[in-house]
């Protein structure tokens, strides 16, 4: 494939926003594609692959190219992908044979360079995870397949496989995750199919969280950090459309998206509540189950969001941990006596996971841990999730 100037410049423009302005890669990519409707499937594929791989391998590519400029990073990525770097994309001192030779030297560089991660983050994860960090990091740098969750309110997984196939999409069941399907590597779900409400895009690791809450039809459930409702919709399906779910979040925009998805999925048991000063008081002692899907570093999802690692900082991580502690202090108060809650994150860092549960139990010894589930790209092959179910006396 020949690289066209508009596409190359498009890549650089997106990367500038990610690296210089800390913008979210996924979102800019979507905006840029919307603004350029004439770009075909191949053009979009080229841009998406370039910007994701340059973001993932930023430090390694900088070493290979001997420069941190976006021009150099893109050239090193295209060279890696076997594409011919156009002559007009040159900078002073640029030599492709030199880059190819430096690829050979990359493996002898420190891990933070060849695995492309900020030094502070490599050090922190290594301190927390010890020897486990090395294979986790390698796995977090791979590309992830697309997983779907079948909406059991509308069809069974076998029916979903048939429906997808009729629409030209192959899929397979996922061992150990009853509602999950996986698409072949590199395949994505066509937009039209995503809008039908029959399946939702949701990583298999993420699909292990809602079942841990042990819900039953007819229960009262609070999803305290519901966001756009990935897990709320799963809970509604597990409750077979019977009972009440209150989906809370501080973001009204996310809850509005949740309502749209809930309507599409055909569930009527979800009510949304944008967080207010009196929320905790109004729902105190109301729920049989509470899910606290807490804001976190997101380190378990680096395969899909490689830009996260360049935005994170030690300070931001500490702020997130403080918020997690606050959520754990407040939301269990919504449970009736004998109720249960699940605390979950999409991080692989123990200080956001087991560490928070231990601290909570030191602050309040009434909570008993019933079960812990963990997934990770190096272990299960799914995104990195942590979830603990605790019972309240
Ligand atoms: C990990 S995300 C939730 C993802 C969502 N549960 C899903 O499955 O798609 C964490 C959410 O917590 C919300 N949040 C942040 N602070 C909060 C608070 N004090 N109370 C409730 N939600 C909060 C964020 O807006 C964000 O949507």
309-332, pLDDT tens digit by residue? 999 999 999 999 999 999 999 999
Going by C-alpha positions, the residue among 75, 68, 163, 175 that lies closest to residue 113 is 68
Question: Which pTM does this prediction carry?
Answer: 0.96
Distance (angstroms) between ligand 1 centre and the Cα of 199 equals 22
Q: Specify the pLDDT at position 92.
A: 67
Best of 225, 248, 300, 330 to mutate for ligand 1, by most ligand atoms within 8 A of CB?
Answer: 225
Kindly list the protein residues whose Cβ atom lies closer than 6 A to any atom of ligand 1.
Answer: 224-231, 248-251, 254, 275, 293, 295
Q: What is the pLDDT of residues 132-181, one digit of tens each?
A: 999 999 999 999 999 999 999 999 999 999 999 999 999 999 999 999 99
Q: pLDDT band for 283, please (50, 70, 90 cuts).
A: very high
Structure confidence at residue 112 as a pLDDT band (50, 70, 90): very high
Substitution candidate for ligand 1 out of 147, 245, 250, 273 with most atoms within 8 A of CB: 250
225 is catalytic: no
- In three-state secondary structure terms, 298 is coil
Report, as an integer, the average pLDDT of 75-94. Answer: 86
With left for phi above 0 and alpha for psi between -120 and 50, is residue 254 left, alpha or beta?
alpha
- Average pLDDT of span 276-292: 96
Q: Give the number of the atom of ligand 1 that is nearest the alpha carbon of residue 326.
A: 19
- Statement: residue 264 has pLDDT above 80: yes
Per-residue pLDDT tens digits for 17-29: 999 999 999 999 9
Model pLDDT, residue 242: 96
274 C-alpha to ligand 1 centroid (Å): 11
- Indicate if the alpha-carbon torsion angle 352, 354, 355, 356 is positive or negative: positive
| Centroid of ligand 1 to alpha carbon of 223 (angstroms) | 9
**Confidence band of 249 (pLDDT split at 50, 70, 90):** very high
% residues pLDDT > 90 (the chain): 92
Res 93: pLDDT? 67
Q: Which residues contact 45 (CB under 8 A, 6 or more apart)?
A: none
Q: How confident is the model at residue 195 (pLDDT cuts 50, 70, 90)?
A: confident
281 C-alpha to center of ligand 1: Å?
A: 19
CA distance 128 to 125: 5
Q: From start to end of 133-243, where are the E strands? A: 147-150, 172-173, 180-182, 199-201, 220-223
Predicted pLDDT of residue 205: 98
* pLDDT reading at 74 higher than 80: yes
Domains (range + CATH), the chain: 5-116 (1.10.940), 147-201 (3.30.70.1170), 206-391 (3.40.50.150)
Band the pLDDT of 245: cuts 50, 70, 90: very high
Which ligand 1 atom lies nearest to the CA of residue 327? Answer: 19
Backbone angles phi, psi at 337, to 5 degrees: -55, 140
Question: What are the tens digits of pLDDT across the range 364-375?
Answer: 999 999 999 999
The mean per-residue pLDDT over the stretch 261-283 comes to: 95
SS (H, E, C) 43-89: HHHHHHHHHHHHHHCHHHHHHHHCCCCHHHHHHHHHHHCCCCCCHHH
């Amino acid at each position: 494939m020949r690289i066209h100037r508009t596409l190359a410049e498009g890549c650089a423009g997106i990367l500038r926003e990610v690296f210089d302005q800390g913008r979210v890669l996924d979102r800019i990519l979507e905006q840029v594609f919307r603004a350029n409707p004439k770009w075909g499937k191949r053009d979009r594929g080229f841009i998406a692959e370039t910007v994701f791989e340059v973001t993932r391998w930023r430090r390694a590519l900088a070493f290979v190219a001997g420069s941190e400029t976006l021009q150099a990073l893109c050239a090193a990525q295209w060279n890696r992908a076997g594409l011919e770097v156009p002559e007009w994309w040159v900078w002073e001192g640029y030599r492709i044979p030199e880059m190819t030779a430096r690829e050979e030297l990359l493996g002898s560089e420190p891990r933070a360079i060849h695995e492309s991660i900020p030094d502070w983050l490599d050090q922190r994860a290594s301190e927390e995870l010890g020897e486990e960090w090395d294979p986790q990091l390698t796995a977090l740098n791979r590309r992830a397949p697309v997983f779907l969750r079948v909406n059991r309110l509308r069809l069974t997984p076998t029916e979903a496989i048939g429906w997808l196939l009729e629409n030209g999409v192959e899929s397979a069941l996922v061992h150990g995750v009853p509602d999950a399907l996986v698409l072949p590597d590199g395949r994505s779900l066509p937009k039209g199919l995503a809008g039908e409400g029959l399946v939702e895009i949701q990583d298999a690791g993420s699909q292990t969280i809602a079942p841990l809450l042990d819900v039953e039809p007819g229960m009262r459930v609070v999803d305290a950090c519901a966001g756009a409702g990935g897990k709320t919709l799963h809970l509604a399906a597990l409750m077979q459309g019977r009972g009440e779910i209150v989906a809370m979040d501080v973001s009204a925009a996310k809850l509005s998206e949740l309502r749209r998805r809930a309507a599409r999925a055909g569930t009527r048991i979800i009510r949304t509540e944008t967080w207010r000063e009196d929320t905790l008081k109004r729902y105190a002692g109301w729920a049989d189950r509470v899910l606290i899907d807490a804001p976190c570093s997101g380190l378990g999802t680096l395969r899909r969001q490689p830009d996260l690692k360049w935005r994170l900082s030690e300070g931001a991580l500490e702020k997130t941990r403080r918020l997690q502690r606050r959520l754990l202090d407040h939301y269990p108060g919504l449970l009736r006596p004998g109720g249960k809650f699940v605390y979950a994150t999409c991080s692989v860092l123990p200080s956001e996971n087991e560490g928070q549960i231990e601290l909570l139990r030191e602050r309040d010894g009434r909570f008993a841990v019933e079960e812990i589930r963990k997934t990770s790209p190096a272990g299960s092959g799914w995104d990195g999730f942590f979830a603990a179910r605790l019972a309240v006396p």
